[in-house]
Amino acid sequence: MSDVRKMRIFAAEQIDVPDAFPGILKNFIKEIVRQQPEEMVTFSRQYFETLLKNRVDYAPDQSARVELNPKEFYLSHNDNIKDHYDLHEIIGEGALSRVRRSVHKISGIVRAVKVVRKEDLEFGERRKLLEEIELLKQLDHPNIGQVIEMYEDKKKIYFVNEMMHGGTLYERVTSDQHFNEIKAANVIRQLFSAINYLHQNSIVHGDVKPQNIHFKDQEDTIIKLIDFGTSRRVND
């Protein structure tokens, strides 16, 4: 267990709560820290359903299914992002944004923060950007890059994303002389899983290409589909 994880568990255990529900919530948070689940909504549903089943007064035929939406885990702030993150060098640039490597001050977790200047956005572009974020808030899949939280001030909007350290699929294929059929099959399996998940939710990505498929770490085989700028929801 890393020092960061130990620190977070220790902090959770120091919370002093007077009633049952915050105590349950505290244990839930500790389990998240310990297990670091890829699919937060699935993990949460299973955790609380198991908890209910272990209660003496639990009646399956009378209890409603625990339903959680990924949007409930998305945070939007009006705080100054610099109170929470140290913003470092630029690691990527787009037509309307820059991406900075950033470190969360309390946990030490490295994130990628997409910074958009409001004055650079025309009305339609601002609306499209917010639609993209609204769509991403609803997604929960281990092979889709997550937007974790958003900050906003008078001049800029900051989107905090999970950090990808492994480069793009394009970079991996062109640099790895041993990228064989087995590795390719593993990538395709994960990619199809992500696309199938999107289609089940009536979402078209619209720009699936090697440059938009990132590896989580240099030595990792887990991929993440990113860049939903051209995505859209379609009617059945």
Domain residues of the chain, as ranges?
Answer: 3-72, 75-162, 169-233
Check if 207 is active-site.
Answer: yes
Put simply, whether the predicted model's pTM sits higher than 0.85 gets the answer: no
How high is the pLDDT of residue 7? 59
How high is the pLDDT of residue 86? 96
Give per-10-residue mean pLDDT for the chain (236 aa).
56 50 65 72 78 61 50 61 94 84 92 88 74 79 88 88 90 91 95 95 92 88 88 79
Contacts by 192-195, CB closer than 8 A, 24 or more apart: 193/141, 193/143, 194/141, 194/143, 194/144, 194/225, 195/225
Indicate the class that CATH gives domain 75-162: alpha beta
CA–CA separation, 128 vs 124, rounded Å?
Answer: 6
CB neighbourhood size of 141 (10 A): 22
Catalytic residue among 16, 207, 220, 227: 207
CATH architecture observed for domain 169-233: Orthogonal Bundle (1.10)
CA–CA separation, 195 vs 203, rounded Å?
Answer: 9
